[in-house]
Amino acid sequence: MRGLFLILTGFLAGVAAGMGMGGGTLLIPALTLLLGVPQHMAQGVNVAAFLPAAAAALYIHAKAGRLHLRECLPIIAAGGIGALALSLLAENISAPWLRRLFGIFLLALALNRTFGKKTKR
Nearest-10 Cα torsion for 104, 117, 78, 24: 40
Number of separate domains in the chain: 1
**24 is a domain residue:** yes
**121 is a domain residue:** no
**120 is a domain residue:** no
Answer yes or no: pTM beyond 0.75.
no
Q: Could you read off the pLDDT of 56-93 as tens digits, one per residue?
A: 878 888 899 988 888 888 998 998 899 899 889 988 99
**63 is a domain residue:** yes
How many degrees, rounded to 5, is the angle at CA 57 between CA 103 and CA 79?
55
pLDDT, averaged across the chain: 86
**62 is a domain residue:** yes
Residue 121 has pLDDT above 70, yes or no: no
Residue 22 has pLDDT above 80, yes or no: no
Q: CB of 17 within 8 A of CB of 54?
A: yes
Arithmetic mean of pLDDT, 107-118:
86
Q: Give residue 110's domain range.
A: 2-115
